[in-house]
Structures are given as C-alpha cells and as structure tokens.
Amino acid sequence: NAGVTQTPKFQVLKTGQSMTLQCAQDMNHEYMSWYRQDPGMGLRLIHYSVGAGITDQGEVPNGYNVSRLKKQNFLLGLESAAPSQTSVYFCASSYRPESTDTQYFGPGTRLTVL
C-alpha cells in the first residue's frame, strides 16, 4: 500500500496564478482533510470531507476550494494564489473522524507564492 500520496512535492507560483494540489489514499478511508502548516503555528484545517461528494470548511477555508469526486482522491484548489498562502500543505485521511484511529498524513506539498 502506498498510503497517502501528494503531488506535487514542491511548487512555486506567482501571485494570481491558480493550481490544484492532489491527494490520493489507498486505505479505503472515508475521512480526508487538508491542512496547512506554518512556522510557529499548529496545523490548521482548511477543508475536510467525510465521504465522496461531501465536503465542508475547516478553520481557514478562504482562498481554497476542494473536490472529492471519488473516495480515494481529495483535491485542493487555489483559485488566485496570494503570498499569504505560502505554506506546507498536508493531506490526511482516517477511517472516521470520530475514531481513535490514527490520521495518516501525506508527505506534504511545499508551496511558495511570489
């Protein structure tokens, strides 16, 4: 099993450009989420999904959109990138959000917006 995979690993954008971060998991997990991690701050939830076709906003959703057409894939879109979105983005999945099961994280995408 590959676990949770993310593409790309690194990305540099110019202000105003758009892009999509991709996340895939092969563990048949229902719950998937996107976080951003900034220096000196905890992981912050951007959006999450409890199943295919179901998404909801997290703590910091502004400037991002998501799509989960298939159970195994969760996409994070930046419509018009801003320097404030420079961060490391992690995708995570788990069987159920209420579960004590561990969250499995992808390796991260390091995004720089110039």
Do residues 109 and 22 touch, judged by C-beta distance below 8 A? no
Q: Which is nearer to another protein, 33 or 85 (CB)?
A: 33
Cα 34 to Cα 39: distance, rounded to the nearest angstrom: 17
45 near another protein, rule: CB under 8 A: yes
Cα 44 to Cα 29: distance, rounded to the nearest angstrom: 21
Question: Which of the stretches 18-26, 67-75, 79-87, 104-112 binds another protein when contact is defined by CB under 8 A?
Answer: 104-112
Instruction: Give min distance, CB of 13 to another protein, in A.
Output: 20
How many residues of this chain bind another protein (CB under 8 A)?
17
Cα 19 to Cα 13: distance, rounded to the nearest angstrom: 8
55 near another protein, rule: CB under 8 A: no
Burial code (b: 16+ CB inside 10 Å, e: under 16) for 22-35 equals ebbbeeebbbbbbb
42 near another protein, rule: CB under 8 A: yes
Return residues touching another protein (CB under 8 A).
40-45, 58, 90, 97-98, 100, 102-103, 105-108
